[in-house]
Chain A
């Protein structure tokens, strides 16, 4: 318990510093700062507010306003070019403070319409469905539960899976578990958790912080967040934070493949948000992105009781 307490304290301090950096980056008058960058920074600040850091609360207020302004000014905004979850999370962050964006509202309504018209709901779209419900766009009470066959398959074979397939698996688990708000059992469960844990260590050692942070969250969504590998990963990630607050030490990539500004916007920004997300997940006992709910999986043994 003492060790976990220390980890939580260190992680919260790291999140606080990271959110300060995100707010600073997103507030610069920069023509290269896109809607995607602003929504990522907004989501990062929202996550910081979950753990209650003062920096996050003030940053969140400012970023809500600047994000809304940016969306209104973006004449070429195309929702199809963005991650659906990011758009929905961004809209929710705005709505919580009484703000909104016509572009995001239009996207939400269109997505809800498509899902309502689908003959059955893919298990991996549960996160989007719940986010839409939180935005008041659709109801989870109707429709059939997602079919089990849509669940990703797990097991030790994940160890030799290519990165693209692995990312798809992670996204599927995040979606099917609605970011940990429902229990997601990927059979064989013990083998899957062990493989994900080993891949987490491996990817971090390879310095793939983006995929590593994703695997760290997936481990929690699988109900295996108490494994020792989680503390190893958090300990490692905390060592990868710059003095500025950004996560990731990419000096060797600078100059070889990109300019400093592109490094900040296209690498450090998304990775910082992803790591912040994972740190907040690791320090939170309860799901926070979406309220805990019953699994919607037909034939699932836990269907009767809340997870």
Chain B
């Protein structure tokens, strides 16, 4: 990764990182997949997102600083993963596999015992032939990334091939829906291993084209005040080894939006003009956790690269 280091941008990222990590640390119980009762639907997703951030904290050694004790985070992941119901779920409901792989990868990197046998997962992958139409290309890319992190053998297509299948060659960002923008950010994340390598997207022309799209979307998300997407798109610029475009403006804008308790308001929070959502309530945590988490993720990755 090349160096990206405007001092004021780093200061913004540091302040954001400190506040967001502290807020997440205070609300670790929110990530317990069992907090609402038995496991249903895709309730493991928040835990998987915590696992992704934990992985990044472990990998971004140069940016770790004096953040919250990571052992508490690993304990949170382990507490859920040792439960037999949790451990068996991906084999009965394979759509939950990616979340479980992320949790397991974070535990292993953190020196804890993983709960998934790579051989068992490889057998599951080979048997179910997870692909389109049941699995859209960007989901297949997500699966591939999770399998690669977990060291599981598979025969899925390459990242450039999956990217080509996920995104058309030409995109008019005006027409993109919000879910589609998240598809763009996530495929960039997977291709770049969450910012730990330059994105494997094919040719230099492909990278430039994607970087241009990301920059356009980043400017739009800042103008829209969507901090969740702004943080994800800043991370995308990092992944694509992009030029220093709107990232600085994005950091400053998110910094201005950060609450005193360290949380970053999500879309629901921003739209709550009447103040119906009480700060610190379950609803508030639910509304803020994702934007706060991705901001921490982007800030960690940014600072790690800056410190080279």
A residues bordering B, Cβ < 8 Å? 156-157, 159-160, 194-195, 197-199, 201-206, 228-229, 232-233, 235-236
Contact = CB atoms under 8 A, between A and B. Distances in A.
A194 B211 CA distance: 14
Interface of B: 172-175, 212, 215-216, 218-220, 222-225, 245-246, 248-249, 253, 256
Nearest to B209: A228
A164 to B, nearest CB: 15
B246 A156 contact: yes
19 contacts: A156-B246, A159-B223, A159-B246, A159-B249, A160-B225, A160-B253, A194-B215, A194-B246, A195-B249, A201-B174, A201-B216, A202-B220, A203-B223, A205-B174, A228-B216, A229-B216, A232-B173, A232-B174, A233-B174
A235 B219 contact: no
Contacts of A156: 246, 248-249
A235 B248 contact: no
A188 to B, nearest CB: 12
B219 A236 contact: no
The prevalent SS among residues of B at the interface is: helix
A283 B173 CA distance: 22
A228 B215 CA distance: 12
B293 to A, nearest CB: 23
A198 B175 contact: no
A194 B245 contact: yes
Contact of B222 (A160, A203, A228): A160
- Identify which of B223, B224, B225 gathers the most chain A CB atoms within 10 Å of its CB: B223
B216 A197 contact: yes
A248 B224 CA distance: 21
B172 A235 contact: yes
Contact of A199 (B172, B174, B219, B225): B219
Contacts of A228: 212, 216
Contacts of B224: 202, 206
Given A156-B249, A159-B246, A194-B245, A202 B223 contact: yes
Contacts of A194: 215, 219, 245-246
Nearest to B220: A202
A198 B216 contact: yes
B219 A195 contact: yes
A198 B212 contact: no
B236 to A, nearest CB: 15
A43 to B, nearest CB: 26
Report, nearest first, the 6 A-B pairs whose CB atoms are least far apart. A198-B219, A156-B249, A202-B223, A202-B220, A159-B222, A236-B174
Given A160-B253, A203-B223, 17 more contacts: A159-B223, A160-B223, A160-B256, A194-B219, A195-B219, A198-B218, A198-B222, A198-B223, A198-B246, A199-B219, A201-B173, A201-B216, A202-B223, A205-B173, A206-B224, A228-B212, A236-B175
A201 B212 CA distance: 13
Contacts of A204: 174
A157 B252 CA distance: 10
Nearest to B257: A160
A141 B64 CA distance: 64
Contacts of A195: 219, 246, 249
B238 to A, nearest CB: 18
A120 B253 CA distance: 37
A199 B223 contact: yes
A159 B172 contact: no
Contacts of B223: 159-160, 198-199, 202-203
Contacts of B172: 232, 235-236
B174 A197 contact: no
A274 to B, nearest CB: 17
A174 B81 CA distance: 61
Contacts of B218: 198
Given A194-B246, A198-B246, A228-B212, A159 B219 contact: yes
Contacts of B216: 197-198, 201, 228-229
B253 A159 contact: yes
A85 B225 CA distance: 33
Contacts of B245: 194
A7 to B, nearest CB: 13
A203 B223 CA distance: 9
Contacts of B246: 156, 159, 194-195, 198
A199 B221 CA distance: 10
A277 B245 CA distance: 30
Contacts of A199: 219, 223
Contacts of B253: 159-160
A203 B225 CA distance: 13
- Identify which of A157, A159, A229 gathers the most chain B CB atoms within 10 Å of its CB: A159
A197 B215 CA distance: 11
- Identify which of A157, A194, A203, A235 gathers the most chain B CB atoms within 10 Å of its CB: A194
Contact of B220 (A157, A201, A235): A201
A229 B171 CA distance: 11
B220 A205 contact: yes
B253 to A, nearest CB: 6
